[in-house]
Amino acid sequence: MADLKIAVIAGSTRPGRKSRTVAEWVLDRAAGRPGAGYHLLDLADAGLPLLDEPASAKVAGPAGYTREHTRRWSATVAGYDGFVFVTPEYNHSVSGVLKNAVDFLYHEWANKAAALVSYGGAGGARAIEHLRGILSEVQIAHVQQSLSLSAFTDFEGWRTEQPTLAPSAVQDIFLPLMLTQLETWATAMRAVRQNALAPAA
């Protein structure tokens, strides 16, 4: 069986964002894990405007997309077996750009697995709770273990122009556990997708 292909999604595009740094830290720790390849997927490079498809993705499906940027995003997301969503917490929730990126698609997310990483003054815990509900609606199976990086204990110089990510030791305990859960579920969900495509006997 081919290795799992997992996208680590940097879920903020604002100037001074920390999501790319956090995503690259996850990638560094995930490098060399057997049976899975991790790849950066930066929403700053996705070129998505605010959702502008006339029909919902669930109803239209990939064949019904009317915008070229939607078709590009569809092809990108469809190629992955699982995702690590990296999100800041903005006003007790996920970033608008991440919610928008999820809303563009449906079938390309469905029956895949995800793990969640957040950061912020309260560790981004509320963003994770909101993101779980969002992902459930597009049929992504999200694993139990998540990471919440605190502005006060996992970064140095948080309020400076160039804060440094300095995760506490406990994060290096939780991260491999989270990735193991993700790979287990991504493998199981691959079988679910294959069964859904199999012709009826």
pLDDT the model gives residue 160: 77
Range of the domain at 93: 4-197
Beta strand segments in 31-96, E: 36-42, 82-88
pLDDT the model gives residue 26: 98
pLDDT over threshold 70, residue 49: yes
Which residue from 50, 62, 51 is spatially nearest to 109, judged by alpha carbons? 62
Give me the mean pLDDT over the 102-108 stretch. 98
Tell me how far apart the alpha carbons of residues 57 and 77 are, in angstroms, rounded to a whole number.
Answer: 13
pLDDT the model gives residue 151: 92
Based on the structure, what is the number of domains in the chain?
1
Which H or E element spans position 147?
strand 147-150
Structure tokens at 168: 């506490």
pLDDT band at 199 (very low <50, low <70, confident <90, very high): low
Q: What is the CATH number of the domain that holds 68?
A: 3.40.50.360
pLDDT band at 161 (very low <50, low <70, confident <90, very high): confident
Beta strand segments in 105-185, E: 112-120, 140-142, 147-150, 155-156, 164-165
Q: What residue spans of 16-95 are helical by DSSP H?
A: 19-30, 57-60, 68-78
